Amino acid sequence: MDHTAVFLMNLGGPRSLEEVEPYLYELFSDPLLITAPFGPFRPLVARLISRLRAPSSAEKYALIGGKSPIVEGTEAQARALQRALGPGWSCHLAMRCGHPSTEEGVREALAAGATRAVALPLYPQYANATTRSSLVELRRVWPGELPLAEICTWHDHEGYLDASAAALRETLEALPASDRASALVVFSAHGLPMSQVRKGDPYPGYIEHSARETARRAGAQEFRVTYQSRVGPAKWLGPDTVEFLEANARGRAVVTVPIAFVSEHLETLYDLDVLAKEAALTGGATAYVRVPALGTRPDFIAALADVARTGLAAGRPAA
């Protein structure tokens, strides 16, 4: 009987303050994740940048509990997804940076008796910097003689969009009625350098689709897509979330949606809960709330199970 391993692929995060610098080094070492033209000097430059950035990054992680909760959150998603998929399936973490790494996840899956695998990126919207980087690493370490079905994007999956809309609707309904009608819904996604967009990366279009469908299904009257977490001086996708909120929040409640993130981590707990909130209130918002990451919501886990099953069927060789 076949045993299917599902690899939950995500960027990862430091599990302690001591892991911040090694995590940053891995991040800046990957030419798909950080596209700056470092050439043959990339390892040296990555070491220098990670050392310089580690203290300020560690301060941010200290504010959210001294670590990234993404590993624990993804482990909870893996347990819930394995229950939803049932016998013959096992779920394993494959973090692109940090631990458990993709290689560690593959070793665990093989030890559990996996005979085939499904690559399930926890980035709903495909981007070269995230999805492709994780897929390239999984291809490198997964045994070539065993089948591997690859899922690239599920930004338009009906179950995912319904779960996303339900989470937004619940947050909107928690607002006072006086704020609800005029609330500004801001879908904030991780940014991408414009150099990648000009090369044809489909990410912005996928983000727009997910945001538009989520807003429609939730009955949101007004929404805007913005981008966060810019790194370096190069031009990135915009508008920037913080700058947009400072300029457009006056006199209304603001609801932010982490549309590209399905787990809580630094980009939600610090960038949105601290920086974006501060920007909105400074800009005159009457209230600021954030939709929680989808995490282990039953409707979201059911959607992930369908994505995995459909991906396996689509990737199965013809009989």
4-154+299-315 and 158-290: same fold? yes
Higher pLDDT, 239 or 36: 239
CA dist., res. 120 & res. 8, Å (int): 5
Q: Does domain 158-290 have CATH number 3.40.50.970?
A: no
* pLDDT (average), residues 59-84: 95
CB burial string 82-102: b at 16+ within 10 A, e below:
bebbeeebbbbbbbbbbbbbb
Q: What is the pLDDT of residue 144?
A: 94
CA dist., res. 262 & res. 289, Å (int): 17
Topology of domain 4-154+299-315, per CATH? Rossmann fold (3.40.50)
- Which sequence spans correspond to the domains of the chain? 4-154+299-315, 158-290
Q: What is the pLDDT of residue 319?
A: 29
Is the pLDDT at 152 greater than 90, yes or no?
yes
Among 17-21, 57-61, 84-88, 190-194, the range with the most confident prediction by mean pLDDT is 84-88
CB burial string 181-193: b at 16+ within 10 A, e below:
eebbbbbbbbbbb
Higher pLDDT, 42 or 183: 183
120 closest CA partner among 317, 277, 300:
300
Retrieve residue 2's tokens.
């076949």
Is the pLDDT at 227 greater than 70, yes or no?
yes
Please give the share of the chain, as a percent, with pLDDT higher than 70.
96
The DSSP-derived string for the chain is ---EEEEEEE----SSGGGHHHHHHHHHH-TTTS-S--GGGHHHHHHHHHHHHHHHHHHHHHHTTSS-THHHHHHHHHHHHHHHH-TTEEEEEEESSSSSBHHHHHHHHHHTT-SEEEEEES-SS--IIIIIHHHHHHHHHS-TTS-EEE----TT-HHHHHHHHHHHHHHHHTS-HHHHTTPEEEEEEE--BHHHHHTT--HHHHHHHHHHHHHHHHT-SSEEEEEE---SSS-BSSSBHHHHHHHH-TTSEEEEE-TT-SS-SHHHHTIIIIIIHHHHHHTT-SEEEEPPP-TT-HHHHHHHHHHHHHHHHHHSPP-
* pLDDT (average), residues 47-52: 85
Is the pLDDT at 27 greater than 70, yes or no?
yes
Give residue 221's pLDDT band: very low, low, confident or very high (50, 70, 90): confident
Higher pLDDT, 294 or 47: 294
Backbone dihedral angles phi then psi of residue 288, each to the nearest 5 degrees: -140, 125
> Quick check: pTM over 0.85?
yes
Q: 89: which strand partners?
A: 4
CA dist., res. 120 & res. 131, Å (int): 9
Task: Please return the burial class of 313, using the count of CB atoms within 10 Å of its CB with bins 0-12, 13-18 and 19+.
Answer: exposed
Is the pLDDT at 232 greater than 70, yes or no?
yes
Please give the share of the chain, as a percent, with pLDDT higher than 90.
77
Q: Which of 52-56, 87-91, 242-246, 253-257 has the lowest mean pLDDT?
A: 52-56
Is the pLDDT at 161 greater than 90, yes or no?
yes
Higher pLDDT, 36 or 135: 135
Is the pLDDT at 318 greater than 50, yes or no?
no
292 closest CA partner among 252, 263, 260, 254:
263
Give residue 37's pLDDT band: very low, low, confident or very high (50, 70, 90): low
CA dist., res. 24 & res. 20, Å (int): 6
pLDDT per position as a tens digit, 116-139:
999 999 999 999 989 999 999 999
Q: What is the mean pLDDT of the chain?
A: 92
CB burial string 34-66: b at 16+ within 10 A, e below:
bbbebeeebeeebeebbeebbeebbebbeebee
Higher pLDDT, 227 or 27: 227
Q: What is the pLDDT of residue 24?
A: 87
Q: Is-contact 164 258, C-beta < 8 A?
A: no
Q: Is-contact 56 63, C-beta < 8 A?
A: no
